[in-house]
Amino acid sequence: MPDWSYHSIFKPILFRLPSKIARDLTLQTMGGLSRMPGGTFVIKTMGHFEQSTLLQDDIAGVPISCPIGLSGALDPEGTAHKAFAQLGIGFIELGPVTVREVRCDAPIECVPAQEAIVYPNGYANAGADALAERLRKGTGHRLPHFVRLRAMPGSTPREALLQQQELLEKLAPCAAGFYIDGLAEGWPPDEAWAYLTEVRQLAAAAGKPALLYVPPQLPEGMLRELTAQLASWSGVVVGEALREEGSHRIRVGGGVVLSAQLSLVRRLRAAGAATIVAAGAASQPQDALELLAAGANSVQLHSGLVYAGPGLPKRMNEAILYERIRETEEPEPPSFWANWGWMSLLGIAMMIGGVLAWLIASTSVLLPYDETFLGVSRSVINRFNGHIIHFMSHDRITLAGTMISLGIFYYQLATHGLRFGLHWARTALLASCTVGFSSFFLYLGYGYFDPLHAIAAAVLLPMLLLTLRGLKDYPSRKPPGLRNDAVWRRAQWGQCCFVVLGFGLGIGGLIIAFVGITQVFVPTDLAYLGVTAQMLADWNEHLIPLIAHDRAGFGGALFSLAVAIAGSALWGVNQGESWLWWTFLWGGIPGFTAGLLVHFHIGYTDFIHLLPVYIAVLLYGFGLYLMYPYLVRRAGKGAELPVSARQAEEPF
C-alpha cells in the first residue's frame, strides 16, 4: 500500500469505513502479505527504501538503523510490524501495556481537519501476558522493542509499583528498553516522582535503559522537577497525546501536539537530556526535521502514517539523510568509461537500432534472410494475401518504436541515475536489461533464428557487462520534498497513473510474448488477415514461425520497457527530478506513435484490439500532467532547509 495507491485508491475508501474495520483491514492486509512467501520482497519492491549507514544511531545505547520509530498504539497487536519493518522504521514501541487487559470497544475517531486521532481510552491494551506470549513466538523482524509501562487505571502509586515489578519480570527478556509512564496519572507530584524513581531503579536492576515518558504539556512546577532529575534517566520520551480533562480519552497528533512537543524538546535539550524521543506528532518530513533540529534524537510515527501514508518513514529518512550530507563534500562522479557511460552507449545503440528497424519495417519490411527462410519473395506473399506484409510491418514498427523508447530510458537512467549512484536507477536498469536480453531466446520458440538480432545482442551484452563494473550507491544530493501539500498529493495521482501504466504494459508484453510462442494470432489478427492460421501454414510452413518470431520479440521488448517504466515510477518520483519527467515524456512518444500510427496506416483499427493502447495513452497523458508541478516546477527550488540553522535561532 505505497503512497501513490494509498492516496488515490485506498485512503478515500478506508476513511469512509468504521474506524475499527478500516484499521483492522489495513493492518491485517499488510501483515498477511508480509507473512506470505515473498511478501516482504513485494513490500520492499513497492517502497524500495535502502538503509544508509549514515542514518544509524542509538536510543540510550540501543543501536537503531534509523531515527524513525513506530508508535505502539497504532498497531497494538503487532499485526503488521513485520511489514512496517520494511518501510524505513528503525525501532518499535510496544504499549502502553498494563498487567491486565484494559478493554475498550468504543470507536476510534479521526479528525482529518487537524490530522489527529482520538482514542476513547488511552489505557486500552491486551495485557502483559498476551504481549509476552506474542514476543516469545517471534515478531518476524529484528528491530528493537521499547515497551511503554503503565499502571492500571485508578491505581495508587504503591499499587502501581507492584504492577511494574510484575511487568518488568515478564517483559525484560524481550525488551530493548522501557518507557516509564506515570506523570499523567493524576497523582500528587511528590508521590509520582517517588514512584518513577523506584521503577527506574527496577529497570536498571534488570539491565535495561529506562526513558521517562512525559506528556507534551506539563505544569511549570513539574517541568522544573523534571529538568532537575534528567541526569538520572537514560532519556526522555515526549508523549504523543493530549488527555481530555475528566476522561481517559486522548488526542494523538495535530498541530497543537506538535507545537507543544517542539517547545518541550527545546527545553529538555537545553537542560541536558541524554536522549529525547519525540512521539507521534510528526506527519510530514518537515515536522521530523524541526523536531530533530530542536533537539530530539529520534521521532516516532503515529497519526502521520494514517494521514500521509506508509511512505512517510522513507520520506523522513531521505530528508534526514539529505540534512546530514548536504554540507559534506560531494563524491566525484565516475568517469564516462568507468561504468555508466557504457549504459548510455547501450541506450544510444538501442535508439539507432530502433530507427533503422522502423525504416526497414516501413519500406521493404522483409530482410533478405527473411525471404531466404520463407523461400518466397515479398511480391509472392502479396499475391497470396495483401494484408500479410502490412501485418508484419505493424509488428516490426511497434517493436522499433519500443526499442527507441527503451533506448531513451536507458540513456536517461544511466546519465542521471547511475552516474550519481542512485540505487533505484541501477535496480530499474538491471531488471529491465535482464528481461530484455533473456527475451532473445523467445525468438527461437518457433525455430527461427534471426542473425541480425543475434548480432545486436552480441554487441550490446558487453556494454551491459562493462556497466556492472564498480557501481557504487550514493544518497541523492537533491533537496527532498518536505510537505504533504497539494502539489505532492497531486503527484501521487500522477505516479499512480505511471505505475499502473508500467504494470499494464508488462502484462501486455507477457501476453504478446506468450501468444507469440504458442498460438501466434489472436482472433482480431485473423479477422484482419481474412484467413485462418491453418491456411497460412498450408501455404507456407515457414510463414507462421517468422511472424511468431516478430511477436515474441515485440512482447519481450515491451515487457522490458514496462519494467523500466514501472521501476522509475515506483522509486524515482521525487521532488524536482525534472529529468525523470522528460524521460517519461520523450520515452513514451516513440512507442505510442509507432503503435497508433501503424495501425491506422494499415487499416487495422479494431476498437477492442486498440483499446489497451487508448487506455495506456490516457494514463500517460494524465500522469505527465499531474506530476509536472512536482517534478519540473519545483526543480532547483530546494526544500525549506537548512532547518537546523532556522531552529537554532528561535528562542526556547
Grid cell, residue 21, equals 474495520
Residue 333 domain-assigned (yes or no): no
Cβ proximity of 494 and 574 under 8 Å = no
Q: What is the pLDDT of residue 402?
A: 96
CATH label of the domain that carries residue 293: 3.20.20.70
Same domain, 77 and 206: yes
The neighbour count for residue 612, using CB atoms within 10 Å, is 15
Same domain, 26 and 150: yes
Same domain, 312 and 347: no
Residue 643 domain-assigned (yes or no): no
Same domain, 447 and 592: yes
Q: What is the pLDDT of residue 446?
A: 61
pLDDT in tens, 94-142: 999 999 999 998 999 999 989 999 999 999 999 999 999 999 998 889 9
Residues 6 or more apart from 75 whose CB is under 8 A from it?
Answer: 27, 81, 84
Same domain, 394 and 305: no
Q: What is the pLDDT of residue 650?
A: 33
Q: What is the pLDDT of residue 447?
A: 67
Residue 487 domain-assigned (yes or no): yes
Cα separation, 304 vs 157, in Å, equals 34
Cβ proximity of 94 and 148 under 8 Å = yes
Q: What is the pLDDT of residue 438?
A: 85
Same domain, 212 and 315: yes
Same domain, 347 and 320: no
SS3 207: coil
Residues 6 or more apart from 548 whose CB is under 8 A from it?
Answer: 445, 446, 448, 516, 517, 520
Cα separation, 387 vs 515, in Å, equals 20
Residue 436 domain-assigned (yes or no): yes
Same domain, 455 and 353: yes
Grid cell, residue 554, equals 515485440
Cβ proximity of 303 and 283 under 8 Å = yes
Same domain, 485 and 374: yes
**Phi/psi at 138 (nearest 5 deg)?**
105, 145
Residue 31 domain-assigned (yes or no): yes
* Boundary-marking domain end, from 263, 298, 325: 325
Same domain, 431 and 380: yes
What domain count does the chain have? 2
Same domain, 406 and 486: yes
Cβ proximity of 291 and 261 under 8 Å = yes
Cα separation, 351 vs 405, in Å, equals 7
Residue 641 domain-assigned (yes or no): no
Average pLDDT, 10 consecutive residues per value, the chain (652 residues): 87 91 92 91 81 92 96 93 93 96 92 92 94 92 95 95 96 95 91 95 95 92 90 95 85 92 95 94 95 97 94 95 90 90 96 95 91 92 93 94 97 96 94 88 68 85 92 89 94 96 96 88 93 93 90 92 96 94 97 94 93 96 97 71 37 27
* Boundary-marking domain end, from 263, 291, 325: 325
Domain that holds residue 386: 340-471+481-633
* Boundary-marking domain end, from 325, 348, 379: 325
Stated pTM of the model: 0.91
Concatenate the DSSP letters of all residues of 462-514 into one string. HHHHHHTTT-------SPPP----HHHHHHHHHHHHHHHHHHHHHHHHHHHHH
Residue 39 domain-assigned (yes or no): yes
Residue 652 domain-assigned (yes or no): no
pLDDT in tens, 42-75: 888 887 777 889 999 999 999 999 999 999 999 9
Same domain, 313 and 374: no
